Every structure is written in structure tokens, then in C-alpha cells.
Amino acid sequence: MSFDHQKAMAMYLDYANGMSVQDVAKKHNRTVSAVYRIFRSGGYRLEYRASKGTTRTRPFSDKQREVLGRYNQQRSRQAAPIQVDRAMEALEHEKMPPRLRAALELRVKYPDSTLAELAALHDPPLTKSAYWRRLARGFETAEAVW
């Protein structure tokens, strides 16, 4: 398929006037990936836009990131003692699977560490998400046994 600059310009004008890439694709009978490809090959710039259904119109500012970072640290500090208590209770169960036991033991051994730090200490290292999932599964397993 040859590149038609007039059609590309028409599509980009629709996009620049507020249409989403999905709507441009539908209007011009193209796939979304084809529209992206046409924009890239024509050198047209795509701007950051929030997904439909959200009110966010631009990325967080440095100040907002700082505030959110402090808030997340505060939440982590509040959650850690609760997690340590739950982990100690869960470790009382003899039938705890070794993978879950290792995650629980790390939480007890390093009570002030963040989940990301604990995930890095795990052998083998895990992602924060994977570590949290093992920890949560350990809690769930202990509750199921009670």
C-alpha cells in the first residue's frame, strides 16, 4: 500500500482536532495499528492523552509525584507491623509450603523493609508483585487452615 500524504494529513487533522486514534481508524476505515504506522511514517507527533473514562489529562507533576511518594511510604510503614504479625501467625502452621514460608520468614526477619526490598532479598529475587502475591498466599493458606 503506497503512502498517500493527503489521506495521512486528513487523518492527522482529525486526530489533532481531538478525535482518538480509535475514532480516526474507524472514520477512515483503517486498523488502529495502521493509523499509528501512517502517523509514524509521516512524521506526525502523537501527544499524551488520558484513556477514555479517566479525568487525567497529563502526567503527574514532580510535586504530585513527591506527595504521592510520601503517602505511599506512610502507608507502607503502617502496613508493615500488621504484615509482620500475620506472617508470624502463619509461620506457626507446620504444613506451610516452603515457597510461601520463605516469603513469610523474610517479612518477619526484616520488619521495616519495603516489599520491593524484600522481593530483592528473596532467593531467587522476585518482582515486588510476585513477592506480595506469595506473602498474600501465605496469609490465605494460614487462614484456610484455621
**Mean pLDDT, to the nearest integer, of 7-17?**
87
Per the domain annotation, does 100 fall within a domain? Answer: yes
Per the domain annotation, does 134 fall within a domain? Answer: yes
Lowest mean pLDDT among 8-12, 41-45, 113-117, 131-135: 41-45
Cell triple for residue 75? 502507608
CA distance 59 to 66: 13
What pLDDT shows up at residue 131? 96
In the predicted structure, residue 30 carries a pLDDT above the cut 80? yes
Sorted by sequence, the CB contacts under 8 Å of residue 7 that are 6+ apart come out as 28, 38
What pLDDT shows up at residue 139? 94
Q: Are residues 2 and 53 in the same domain?
A: yes
Query: Is the bond preceding residue 125 a cis peptide, omega within 30 degrees?
Result: no
In the predicted structure, residue 1 carries a pLDDT above the cut 50? no
Count of the separate structural domains present in the chain: 2
Better pLDDT: 110 or 59: 110
Q: Are residues 139 and 89 in the same domain?
A: yes
Q: Which amino acid is present at 3? A: F
Q: Are residues 12 and 46 in the same domain?
A: yes
Lowest mean pLDDT among 32-41, 51-60, 85-94: 51-60
Structural domain of 138: 78-145
Q: Are residues 47 and 84 in the same domain?
A: no
What pLDDT shows up at residue 120? 95
Write the pLDDT tens digit of every residue in 95-131. Answer: 899 999 999 999 999 999 989 999 999 999 999 999 9
